[in-house]
Structure 1
Amino acid sequence: MTTLARRQRFAFPEMPDWFESLPARFAMPTMGDLYTVRIEDYTQDDRYVMRAELPGMAPEDIDVLIGDGVLTVQAERTERDITKNHSEIRYGSMSRSVSLPPGADEDDVKADYTDGMLTVSVGLGTRKQEAKHVEIKHGS
């Protein structure tokens, strides 16, 4: 007995390959000259850590803001006034905000900028305790 294998066909078979080969800059959401900052975040040693990729920036061009449970990184790269043959470097303002995890201590913040990577860590204060059962009273 012969079984027939079904093959999925696309009207344009090269389309999936085309989308995968798009340069990352086209996938980044933009608003005018405002670009997002690429980040990674994790928890380590009772601290929330966010690392932001900001290559070629001067520390004085980077601003870290924290408040109301939100951590924001803003940076601006100024274009040099020279005639260029070719440029793939992004210029202008960049920004990224993330919500802090519960228990984050906004007064315990450290930031370091080394080799194009900004590392911001926020202390995690008291951890949430386990859920407690609450007695329900019945009014008469």
Structure 2
Amino acid sequence: MNLLPAHRPASILPDLTDWWNAFTPGLAPMLSSHMLRVEESADEGHYVVRAEIPGVDPAKDVEVSVHGGLLTIKAERSESRAEGGHSEFSYGSFERTVSLPEGAQDEGIEATYAKGILTVSVPVSEPKQKVTKVQVKSGE
């Protein structure tokens, strides 16, 4: 069994993902193209998470959920190409969970998808500083 990627006549160098998958077949699903890249920022009372998910239909392939202070993004991609008698396909499931900051609200969360980028905006209010006084009893 040959683990090296097939040479593509139109390309001088094979795709780096193909090289990675060829030399690490057991790790490829965990570490290769199935990683979901995200960036996080705070912007005027909102916690914003942007995820790079090109080639998906956001209406049916993307799920965003919030539970227990965690924001989870799940996506599934299935793509195929055919040209000149050569065809390729790629597919996979992606998932990423990030911790929401203190004061994040479950209500009013918005998610938009444009040009391969999913943007999730979570409203954040100032955390309420609750002080609880504890009565000290005599131990006599």
TM over 0.5: yes
State the partner residue of 1:18. Answer: none
Percent of counterpart pairs with the same letter?
A: 35
- Name stretches of at least 5 consecutive residues in structure 2 with no aligned partner: 1-15, 21-26
Distance 2:125 2:28 in 1: 33
The structure whose Rg is larger is: 1
1:74-124 deviation line (CA, Å, top 9, x unaligned): 11111338588486x852111111111111101120011011110001111
Does the residue aligned with 1:35 lie in a helix, a strand or coil? Answer: coil
Matches within 5 A, 1:1-140: 30-31=29-30, 35-60=34-59, 61-80=61-80, 82=82, 85=86, 90-129=90-129, 137=136, 139-140=138-139
Distance 2:77 2:51 in 1: 15
* TM-score, normalised via structure 1 length: 0.65
Alignment RMSD, CA only?
3.5
* TM-score, normalised via structure 2 length: 0.65
Which is bigger in relative contact order (C-alpha 8 A, separation at least 6)?
1
Which aligned segments of 4 or more residues in structure 1 are displaced greater than 3 angstroms?
23-26, 28-34, 81-87, 131-136
Does the residue aligned with 1:31 lie in a helix, a strand or coil? Answer: helix
- Name stretches of at least 5 consecutive residues in structure 1 with no aligned partner: 1-22
